Chains A and B, each alone.
Chain A
């Protein structure tokens, strides 16, 4: 009797342990390199996916530490979403090398390259680091142009459906919902920024070119003399001159950029420093990509409006 009870207990225990992974695996385990990609993936995947982002919303996506815990996360992932424009070049390759997960290896359906099909801007014609830290595939900060994000959403939905065919209908339905919501919001965003078409702005890094192009803003200069090169006093003096000449009244900075430098320039020019985080979750109540874009457009239009 006792041995039967023991057997039964053992069987229950084994069953319980076996059930844990099967419950967990009901959802697709998705890893996104940055929070913006993760936010779009959550909208497309809905309740069929569990998405984690490696980089923190407030962190410079160029300089993420390749923490060993990320190896474990990638090892157990069903899908990986990366930008595909070398933004993560400094930290993703060693993680993937050690993750030993064929599902997310380059070329596998679970390895999603978000920028696939996007026309990247500023593709260098020559590789020369004397021009700063340029990315050989073009400017990687493409997620703040809603039209690009439509392509990203499509890429994610296509790959999700391939990795998890039984939920394909859900992914496609979510994509359709995402697109119609995006189309509607895009009209709104364009309306909000339309009065400031041609407005001149300055940014810290070359990370707002896609937004400027979409909404007709003009980026006069960056505080960095060259991409990835720290601002020098001589360059800042030039920027101040250029801002005064062009009557530039706003400077956009992200949470990981040197706000003090921006404020110094702002004091000299009478401009305002605007917090313009590109990653969802960096500002409060911006968990989704839409919330963050709303926040970004509102911050810019308010600032430009105040200048009028």
Chain B
């Protein structure tokens, strides 16, 4: 074996050597040497040809894969940039109080609530990497930056498992993991902002997912993540006093019970050739910072249904319905009032609930009409939180997509804050996308 391998290696090396020698030697070389040369050369050429033949198919594979890899933004990484510009006017003098989401229009006039750089690519044969870096213009005109997501996804775990780790949007319900670019409305639903805060629920952690061996699509997931941080609003967030009104109970992570755990089950059926339904159930459990052992539980159910005819033009017409309902039990411990240290707030369970339902009608190519209705409410508590006020909203909108890379949207919001009265708002949104366009998930 050794001998054969070294012979091949020698023969291979011999090719360039002989080729080189061919240029130089004078004709007066001895015949025998010339003959030996030519025999050796013929042998090595035959060998190389044979090897080329053997390797041929795999070499061709490599060449075509290499040709396929670069995309518009080239190389080993897809780079995309998407910017949302909002403009509009609301009758509410406190626009930020009815539009609490970080990527909602929070001021009258113009704003850029989301300009996002998205990066993704294969890390190696085992992982894919993703990152979203978000820049936004704050209501005061300053530019804010956040590392929205940075995570890796495994590609080749056995038993239909998949692991995600890093910082990512928690897979709870349908809209929480979506980026503003894929939202069907200018703003985030009230119930999502109430449960998950202005930026949605996302944290550093890991998520294990299992694709079940059922005949239809069923995926079970569980996320374990840090409960502490600015984007874990219902848990140990520095902004939590806005919910419970108490002084934060500072506590380092001591064990698993200090983590946020979020299971989700997602299933889907094709009802007919042209109709598909997706059903999901989610929950999130974790500590909150009203006391050392205080806990929060959030439960959610979601549904998505879509109809698209068999001969749709560029994906139109279509009809889709998306709805989510959520329930939160926030166990607030007995706590010292943040506003007045002399006051102690009693232990109580803050109960919140809400839902939204949105209907989209893709009327003709690139024109979508939408209607969203939503309600969010909370029970009475000793601390009257602005975030837990009863609220409802009705939003018709119309979106025109000149291409997949740009869109114009106009949306009217009728906001009802009950005792505070009603507000009317009109928002315009323009979006553009350059570079790689990540494919849309269903």
CA distance A89 to B269 in the complex (A): 24
Q: Does A65 contact B (CB under 8 A)?
A: yes
Judge whether A113 and B68 touch: CB under 8 Å.
yes
The answer to whether B314 and A98 touch across the interface, beta carbons within 8 angstroms, is: no
A59 touches B312 (CB 8 A): yes
Residue among A72, A89, A92 with most chain B CB within 10 A: A72
Q: Return chain A residues, CB-CB under 8 Å to B60.
A: 116-117
- How far does the alpha carbon of A21 sit from the alpha carbon of B128 in the complex, in Å? 31
**What 10 pairs between A and B have smallest CB-CB spacing?**
A68-B268, A68-B217, A63-B315, A58-B311, A127-B72, A116-B64, A255-B311, A58-B310, A66-B442, A72-B217
* B211–A257 CB distance below 8 A: no
- Residues from chain A with Cβ under 8 Å of B61 in the complex: 107, 116
Report the separation of the CA atoms of residues A102 and B159 in the bound assembly, to the nearest whole angstrom: 11
Would you list 20 pairs from A and B whose C-beta atoms are within 8 A, ordered by A residue?
A56-B273, A56-B310, A65-B306, A68-B217, A68-B219, A72-B211, A84-B64, A90-B404, A90-B439, A94-B440, A100-B211, A102-B156, A113-B65, A116-B60, A116-B64, A129-B434, A133-B404, A256-B313, A256-B314, A258-B313
Q: Is A71 at the interface (CB under 8 A from chain B)?
A: yes
Chain B: CB-nearest residue to A64: B315
Quick one: which of B67, B128, B215, B276 contacts A67, CB cutoff 8 A? Answer: B276
Does more than half of chain A's interface fall in helix, strand or loop, or is it mixed? loop
Chain A residues with Cβ under 8 A from B217's Cβ?
A: 68-69, 71-72
CB distance from B166 to the nearest CB of A (A): 16
Chain B contacts for A75, CB-based, 8 A: 160, 211
Binding site for A on B (CB under 8 A): 57, 60-61, 64-65, 67-68, 70-72, 125, 128, 153, 155-157, 160-162, 211, 214-217, 219, 266, 268-270, 273, 276, 278, 306, 308, 310-315, 365-366, 403-405, 434, 437, 439-442
Residues of B near A116 (CB, < 8 A) are 60-61, 64
CB distance from B240 to the nearest CB of A (A): 34
Residues of A within 8 A of B404 (CB): 90, 133
CB < 8 Å: which of B65, B310, B437, B440 contacts A59? B310
**Complex contacts, A165 vs chain B, CB 8 Å:** none
Residues on A with C-beta less than 8 A from B68 are: 84, 113, 137
* A164 is an interface residue with CB less than 8 A from chain B: no
B403 touches A71 (CB 8 A): no
Please provide the chain A residues from 238 to 263 with a CB less than 8 Å away from any CB of chain B in the complex: 255-258
State whether B160 touches A100 (Cβ < 8 A): yes
State whether the Cβ of A158 lies closer than 8 Å to any Cβ in chain B: yes
Known: A65-B306, A71-B211, A127-B72. A158 touches B441 (CB 8 A): no
Q: Is A100 touching B441 in the complex (CB atoms < 8 A)?
A: no
The residues of A that contact B214 with a CB separation of less than 8 Å are 72
Whether A113 and B273, one on each chain, are in contact in the complex, defined by CB atoms closer than 8 angstroms, is no
Contact across chains for A98 and B269 when beta carbons are under 8 A apart = no
A178 at the interface (CB under 8 A from B): no
What is the minimal beta-carbon distance from A162 to any residue of chain B, in angstroms?
9
Q: Is A174 an interface residue (CB 8 A)?
A: no
Q: Are B65 and A258 in contact (CB under 8 A)?
A: no
A105 at the interface (CB under 8 A from B): yes
Interface residues of A in 60-100 (CB under 8 A from B): 60, 62-63, 65-69, 71-72, 75, 84, 86, 89-94, 97-98, 100
Nearest CB in chain B: distance from A128 CB, A: 9
A228 part of interface (Cβ distance < 8 Å): yes
CB of A237 within 8 Å of the partner chain:
no
A116 to B125 CA separation, bound complex (whole angstroms): 21
Residues of B within 8 A of A117 (CB): 60, 64
A65 to B275, CA, bound (A): 11
| CB proximity of B119 to chain A, nearest CB, Å | 15
Docked complex: A98-147 residues within 8 A CB-CB of B: 98, 100, 102, 105-107, 113, 116-117, 127, 129, 133, 136-137
Q: How far is the CA of A67 from the CA of B441 in the complex (A)?
A: 8
Assuming the contacts A60-B315, A63-B315, asked whether A94 and B65 have C-beta atoms less than 8 A apart, the reply is no
Measured CA separation A105–B60 after assembly (Å): 18
Give the Cβ gap from A103 to chain B, nearest Cβ, in Å. Answer: 11
A229 on the interface (CB 8 Å rule)? yes
By the criterion CB–CB under 8 Å, are B310 and A68 in contact? no
Q: How far is the CA of A62 from the CA of B211 in the complex (A)?
A: 27
Q: Find out whether the CB atom of A158 lies under 8 angstroms from the CB atom of B57.
A: yes
Known: A56-B273, A100-B211, A102-B156. A62 touches B442 (CB 8 A): no
B67, B156, B404, B439 interface centre (most CB from chain A within 10 Å)? B439
A230 at the interface (CB under 8 A from B): yes
Complex Cα distance, B211 from A66, in Å, reads: 16
Q: Can you name the residue of chain B whose Cβ is closest to the Cβ of A137?
A: B68
Question: Given the interface contacts A63-B315, A117-B64, does A133 sit within 8 Å of B310 by beta carbon?
Answer: no
Q: Is the CB of A97 within 8 A of B128?
A: yes
Per the bound structure, the CA–CA distance linking A59 and B423 in Å amounts to 43
CB contact between A93 and one of B215, B403, B405, B439 (< 8 Å): that residue: B439
Contact between chains at B439 and A69 (CB < 8 Å): no
Q: Is B314 a contact partner of A63 (Cβ separation < 8 A)? A: yes
Chain B contacts for A106, CB-based, 8 A: 65
* B311, A59: Cβ atoms closer than 8 Å: yes
Query: Which residues on A sit within 8 Å (CB–CB) of B278?
Result: 68
Contact of B157 among A69, A100, A137 (CB under 8 A): A100
Contacts of A90 in B (CB 8 A): 404, 437, 439-440
Chain B residues within 8 Å of A107, by CB: 61, 65, 125
- Tell me which residues across on chain B come within 8 A of A65, comparing CB atoms: 276, 306, 308, 315, 442
Given the complex of chains A and B, what is the CA–CA distance between A278 and B344 in angstroms? 74
How far is A105 from B214 in the complex, measured between Cα atoms in Å?
Answer: 21
Chain A residues near B312: list those with CB within 8 A. 59-60, 63, 256
Known: A63-B312, A68-B217, A116-B64. A258 touches B160 (CB 8 A): no
Report the nearest A residue to B316, measured CB to CB: A63
Residues of A near B437 (CB, < 8 A) are 90
Which residue of chain A has its CB nearest to the CB of B65? Answer: A107
Q: How far is the CA of A137 from the CA of B70 in the complex (A)?
A: 9
- CA A92 to CA B270, docked complex, whole Å: 18
By a CB distance below 8 angstroms, the chain A residues around B161 are 100
Complex CA gap A205/B404 in Å reads 17
**Docked pose: A158 CA to B57 CA in angstroms:** 9
